[in-house]
Copies of this chain bind each other. A is one copy, B any other.
């Protein structure tokens, strides 16, 4: 069954490339993209058309790093130093997710908030709680958010919600057994090196290999953390090697931040196929620094973006794209490395993330549709007619959820209208 979306089509199939088809036709078969056309193909005559008029149809966003339980503390504690922030807010907040009824209410709102803001793929940290993690996966699946969720493992230096080592492993197995979702899959999630004993790291590495599971964690976010890891693992010349030692540094491992990754660490990422997840707002909010995204890319590291809620204070990935641009401008002023253009940053916040999950490069035929429809008619009346690339740029900077009129995830419309 063919269906057709009609509107201004825009996508970024490659880094730095923006392709546009004015008043084009996006042809779908059971939610799978069959082609993009400037004129409706004859074979499609008579097929149902959803006409979005002058609106912009563009690939949705992918958020490759956020902490689901911290959703309830967005925008709080931002005046505190990192360790006080962790104690006063993070660990206490996460402990609350022992209560699955609370988790249900919060995660239902989070899932619908993600869809409302145009994010359809995520890689997410849950808390340590197996049951709340399953609730989170269920709620994402119900709302149409796809991707990975990880029950967090942490058996040391992790506040009131810390686990015993054996319990952490046993609960991880129980969680994996219980994961039976179509769109949301498990990812192993050692919180970060300081909060996982060697025994736990080894157990998770073994599990990753045996069951071919992906891994996510944090890397080189700030200098204090790096010094701490060095102290805990004196045999590891660099932070990343504390993951590599236990088999957690492998193809498609997601590492959030990488603010202080130097050339050697970056080359180790490129070589192993480890991805860097850049979280610009969080890195500024917590005074961590500014990651060298251009350098990572130049050295062949795959980079995607994350909101890092709640180190990041906003869930909307359009804001994460804009903050990535701003952070790259800070970096340019420091080092001269060229800043990220709007199409480049949008690629990182959209296409790159979709590719991580095996999705298409932009609106690539053969892949299920992940898209947002942006109505830019309420933006101020321009001084002259705008080109589509100009409208795209403006939409990235100005879009709020009231401008997002429809969201498609995995080929299905998951949101119709927005407020």
Contact = CB atoms under 8 A, between A and B. Distances in A.
Nearest to A281: B326
Interface stretch (A39-47, A70-78, A360-368): A70-78
Copies of this chain held together in the complex: 2
Interface stretch (A29-37, A103-111, A235-243, A299-307): A103-111
For this complex, into which size category does the number of interface residues on chain A fall? 35 or more
Contacts of A76: 386, 390, 393-394, 397
Interface in A320-350: 322, 325-326, 329-330, 332-333, 339, 341-342
A10 to B, nearest CB: 15
Contacts of A358: none
B342 A78 contact: yes
Given A287-B332, A330-B330, A333-B287, A75 B382 contact: no
B74 A394 contact: yes
A397 B96 CA distance: 23
Interface in A162-193: none
A419 to B, nearest CB: 7
A157 interface: no
8 closest A-B pairs by beta carbon, nearest first, are: A75-B397, A96-B383, A93-B383, A75-B394, A72-B380, A313-B397, A284-B326, A79-B341
9 contacts: A71-B380, A72-B383, A74-B379, A74-B380, A76-B394, A284-B326, A284-B329, A285-B329, A313-B322
Interface of A: 71-79, 92-93, 96, 102, 105-106, 109-110, 281, 284-285, 287, 289-290, 313-314, 322, 325-326, 329-330, 332-333, 339, 341-342, 379-384, 386, 390, 393-398, 400, 402, 419
